[in-house]
Every structure is written in C-alpha cells, then in structure tokens.
C-alpha cells in the first residue's frame, strides 16, 4: 500500500502511543518495541549495491525489527539518535503499512522491507514522518520551545538532546512545524520563514 496518509493522522497516531505507553522525551524506544510486541535483532546486511544505506528493516511476519550491523557505529553514535530514528521508521511501517499489506511495493521483498535512507518514495516518507512525530511529538515540542524568539544552533542542540534525536532531525522537525527556519546565512531562527511577496496575495 502506498496510499496518501494525511499528516494529521500520522501525528495523531504518534500522540496515541505517547498516551498509551506514557512516553516522555528521550523515551526508551526498545521498551516501546516490547510494548508493541516487536522484537529487535542485528544482522549484517550488504547494502553496497543500490542507492542509499539500509539502516533497518521490518519483517512483519516475525514481528521483528532488524538493524544493520554494518552501520552499528552510526546507529549507536550521539546518544543512539540514528538508532531511535530508524526504529521509529520501522514502527511506522508496522502501524501504517502492514495492516493493508505492502502489495506490490518495491520496498518490500515479500518478507521484509527494503528501506534505504534518503528514499523519496511515499511509503518511506510516511515512515520518516511517523518517526519524527513519535520521537518529537508536536505538543511536547511546543511545551519545550524557548519562551522568547531565538536564533543559532544552541537552542536546536538543547531540544535535540532533550528528545534524543540528532540536531539535523530536530531542525527539520522545527521547520516542518513552522517553528523555525533557516535564512540564507544558514543559522536557524525561530518562527516560520518570511515569505517575500506573500502580502501581494491581499493586494488589489
């Protein structure tokens, strides 16, 4: 299945899990896997052929998330930020794509998903969006934002540490919610991007 899923539904499903399992920022994602009755294992997966690394896979028939030992260092680095994001991605497939089946999706070989990082495919982007919503829920992030307008990477790093995600993932999440933007100097700033010319919509 690669049907369109409204972003609000993805956010709501993540919020449901937070309520159901009483999650908190930086929560133990392996404990969440237990709660969802999913197992976790490491395997050496050769992903050298093809574009994009395979960090994780889901084997729905065995309720199993597989992490690629080949990228162990990257997955374990910086407070396991990449590991948590990858597991969140596979949980996204489990919740949104397994119930209807993967059908003829090229991202499923009949037994396991073939997730490659950087894929622009809808099914992969949905899993990415779910992972972001799960690790950094909208309401929890809103409550953690600085009270006044801010600029620079320091606030982004602080939020990233609180939610145990990478600074890049946090910046993307903030931008996606319209709570930060990066002007041409590349330095993050609070608030949505100023849209030059937007005022013209209301002119004449």
Cα 44 to chain center, whole Å? 23
Which stretches of the chain are assigned E, i.e. beta strand? 39-43, 56-59, 64-68, 180-181, 189-190
Choice from 115, 133, 135, 159 touching Zn ion (CB under 5 A) = 115
Angle at 137 between CA 99 and CA 170, to 5 degrees: 110
C-alpha span between 171 and 163 (Å, rounded): 12
**Per-residue string for binding with Zn ion, 122-161, x by CB under 5 A?**
--x--x----------------------------------
* Between 127 and 170, CB nearer to Zn ion: 127
Residue 104 is encoded by which pair of tokens? 């003829």
Residue nearest to Zn ion (CB): 115
Residue 125 beta carbon to Zn ion: minimum distance, rounded to whole angstroms: 9
Residue range at the interface with Zn ion (CB under 5 A); choices 44-52, 63-71, 120-128, 131-139: 120-128
Contact 29, 40 (CB under 8 A): no
Residue 166 beta carbon to Zn ion: minimum distance, rounded to whole angstroms: 18
* Between 130 and 141, CB nearer to Zn ion: 130
Contact 87, 95 (CB under 8 A): no
Report how many residues bind Zn ion under the rule CB under 5 A: 3
Residue 124 is encoded by which pair of tokens? 């992969």
C-alpha span between 67 and 10 (Å, rounded): 23
164 is a contact residue toward Zn ion (CB under 5 A):
no
**Per-residue string for binding with Zn ion, 73-92, x by CB under 5 A?**
--------------------
Residues that bind Zn ion (CB under 5 A): 115, 124, 127
């Amino acid at each position: 299945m690669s049907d369109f899923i409204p972003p609000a539904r993805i956010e709501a499903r993540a919020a449901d899990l937070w309520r159901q399992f009483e999650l908190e920022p930086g929560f133990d994602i392996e404990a969440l896997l237990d709660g969802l009755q999913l197992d976790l294992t490491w395997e050496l997966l050769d992903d050298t052929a093809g574009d994009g690394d395979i960090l994780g896979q889901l084997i729905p028939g065995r309720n199993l998330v597989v992490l690629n030992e080949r990228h162990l260092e990257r997955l374990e680095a910086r407070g396991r930020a990449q590991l948590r994001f990858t597991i969140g991605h596979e949980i996204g497939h489990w919740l949104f794509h397994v119930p209807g089946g993967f059908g003829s999706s090229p991202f499923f070989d009949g037994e396991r998903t073939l997730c490659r990082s950087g894929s622009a495919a809808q099914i992969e982007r949905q899993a990415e969006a779910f992972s972001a919503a799960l690790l950094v829920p909208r309401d929890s992030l809103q409550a953690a934002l600085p009270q006044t307008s801010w600029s620079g990477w320091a606030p982004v790093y602080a939020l990233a540490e609180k939610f145990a995600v990478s600074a890049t993932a946090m910046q993307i999440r903030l931008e996606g919610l319209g709570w930060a933007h990066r002007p041409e100097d590349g330095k993050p700033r609070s608030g949505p991007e100023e849209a030059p010319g937007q005022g013209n919509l209301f002119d004449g």
